[in-house]
Structure 1
Amino acid sequence: MKKSLLVKVLSGVMAVAFLFAGCGNTDKAGSNGADKSWDEIKEKGELVLGLDDSFPPMGYRDDNNEIVGYDIDLAKEVASRLGIELKLQPINWDTKDQELNTGNIDCIWNGMTITDTLKKVVLFSDPYMNNQQVLVVMADSSYQTKEDLAGKSIALQAGSSAKIALESKEDFKASLKEVVELKDNTLCMMDLQTGNVDAVLMDEIVARYFIQMKGEKYRVLDEGLAAEEYGIGFRKNDVQLMTKINDTLKEMAADGTITKISEKWFGKDISTIGK
């Protein structure tokens, strides 16, 4: 066989090999590229939900160390209707998108704020609740506005939308003495109580619930920093799975189930999906 012919034959064999290798390397898809994300969840019979287990009232550990919360009740009902098991997987919130995209979890469902930055790497469901970032101070402090915190220290949760909200308020951030980033909001509130910081920047939903549970020890300043919406996060290609869960939530909204769950946790219906 001539050398030129041999080269052509080998090139053809390599091209076919690469073609088949590419077909076998599809992510969450069949050989024709179709999205199989819900089919795979249905086949394994389990949805792995990633969450910060210290984020009341959306998802947190109760006195019996059981993970409970508004989002947990929603997810359990969705799983029940879809005939699958729900596995709750606590994660490091600062690396939530990596946890999702490496396949350690199937979705992030824990009061996650929809942001332009996250939209680049995460597929979101329809928004299901409104929220805003607020400043929490001790009830007996003299602080009334965010301007009163000039030269003071605030705490926030690392990797949270509170940090994004603060970055968007450049003048306010520049006026602060220090910004302390901690693992979760519970630690932030502990720092506030001990006087290590003067205020905490956090989700209003969480702040109001925390104050309700802890009494009148804390106070929320009237002016919020940024309006937000909560959504459920999925891998960008998992449209089938997102649609299945999103449609189930809409059914739950239509038959009044979400209203009942919202009233259980908040005393009123504050949900937005299906409305």
Structure 2
Amino acid sequence: MRRLGITPVFKQITWDRKDSFLDSNEIDCLWGSFTMSGRTDDYRWAGPYMYSRQVVVARKDRGINSFADLKGKRIAVQSTSKPEHIILSGEDDRIQGVSAVYSMSTMSELYASLRKGYIDAAAGHEVAIKRFVDTNPQQFIILDETLYKSELGVAFKKGRCDDIPDILNDILKQMIDDGTIKKIAESYGINADISMGDN
């Protein structure tokens, strides 16, 4: 935000109420691994600034090494997320016969359930999932298969009349061109080739 000349104030929100927070002006934008794909007409966007994989993390003691192994297993997703839609709709033929799908309000609830063994696996953004797995790599595994690959952007309320979204969009493009976003991705242990859309 230094290049934009604004000091950000970060707020944690209940994700399935994100639109009400945006509509009430309690927040100015949604910037948290938010997927543009399929939502381009719902918001005023800055981006895409990188790509994100939706992945599945599993407990190592449950014998899950591929999507096929999720048959008969319990999996958790965040409410209103892309993984929730994919798994509940059954549109991915690689994931069949899951015994239960739990939709949770926050990723913290999801991680707690995974730690305690209430669920066998969970799905979400690679960046967030990898950060969780790094806290206990002996207990959890990220499956190699990609559930979904999406464009990430910063969402503003439609009808916003100022030029901040356009200015931010230009700044994000500069940060892509000068390699800044790639360096940030690598600092979090994310595959930069995938995150920048090269693969």
TM bracket (short chain): 0.7 to 0.9
Give the 3 Å change call, closer, same or farther, for CA 197–163 of structure 1 in structure 2: same
Root-mean-square deviation (CA, aligned residues, Å) is 2.5
Query: In the alignment, does 2:188 pair up with 1:265?
Result: yes
Alignment of 1:122-201 (within 5 A): 122-170=43-91, 175-201=97-123
TM superposition shift of 1:154: 0.8
SS at match of 2:61: coil
Q: Does 1:242 align with 2:165?
A: yes
Q: Deviations over 1:40-95 (max 9, x none)?
A: xxxxxxxxxxxxxxxxxxxxxxxxxxxxxxxxxxxxxx2x2232222212211111
Change (3 A) 1:124 1:212: same
More displaced, 204-213 or 264-273? 264-273
- Deviation track 1:155-179 (CA, whole Å, cap 9, x = no partner) reads 1111222212224534667622211
Q: Which has the higher helix share?
A: 1
Match of 1:103, SS state, is: coil
Task: State, as a whole percentage, how many aligned pairs show the same letter.
Answer: 31
| Separation of aligned partners in 2, 1:105 and 1:255 | 29
The reply on whether 1:224 has 2:176 as its aligned counterpart is no
The runs of 5 or more residues in structure 1 that have no matched partner are 1-77
SS in 2 for 1:213: coil
State the number of aligned residues.
194
- Letter paired with 1:164: H
Which letter maps to 2:176?
Answer: A
Evaluate the alpha carbon distance shift between residue 126 and residue 180 of structure 1 in structure 2; reply closer, same or farther with a 3 A threshold.
Answer: same
Task: Tell me which of 24, 30, 33 is aligned to 1:102.
Answer: 24
Cα distance in 2 for partners of 1:260, 1:135 equals 25
The verdict on how the C-alpha distance between 1:131 and 1:84 changes in structure 2, with shifts beyond 3 A counting, is: closer
- Change beyond 3 A, Cα 1:256–1:172: closer
The structural deviation recorded for 1:128 is 1.6
**In the superposition, relative to structure 1, how do residues 226 and 167 fare at CA in structure 2: closer, same or farther (>3 Å)?**
farther
TM-score by length of 2: 0.83
Paired AA for residue 243 in structure 1: D
Contact 1:192 1:200 in 2 (8 A): yes
Normalised by the length of structure 1, the TM-score is: 0.62
Measured after TM superposition, the shift of residue 246 of structure 1 is 0.9
- 1:28 aligned partner: none
Given that 1:143 and 1:149 are in contact with CA atoms closer than 8 Å, whether structure 2 keeps it comes out as yes
Kept after mapping to 2: 8 A contact 1:124/1:234 = yes
Tell me if the contact between 2:31 and 2:154 (Cα under 8 Å) persists in the aligned partners: yes
Note if contact 1:133-1:165 (Cα within 8 Å) is conserved in structure 2: no
Q: Deviations over 1:81-135 (max 9, x none)?
A: 232222212211111122112222111111111232x334212222122222222
Which of residues 121, 132, 135 in structure 1 aligns to 2:42?
A: 121
- 1:16-55 superposed matches below 5 A: none
SS in structure 2 at match of 1:197: coil
List per-residue Cα deviations over 1:173-228 (Å, max 9, x = no partner): 76222111112223212212222111112222222222223223101222222222
Supply the distance in 1 between the matched residues of 2:96 and 2:189 (Cα, whole angstroms).
35
Kept in 2, the 8 Å contact 1:138–1:192? The answer is yes
Instruction: Kindly indicate whether structure 1 or structure 2 has the higher relative contact order, using CA contacts under 8 Å at least 6 residues apart.
Output: 2
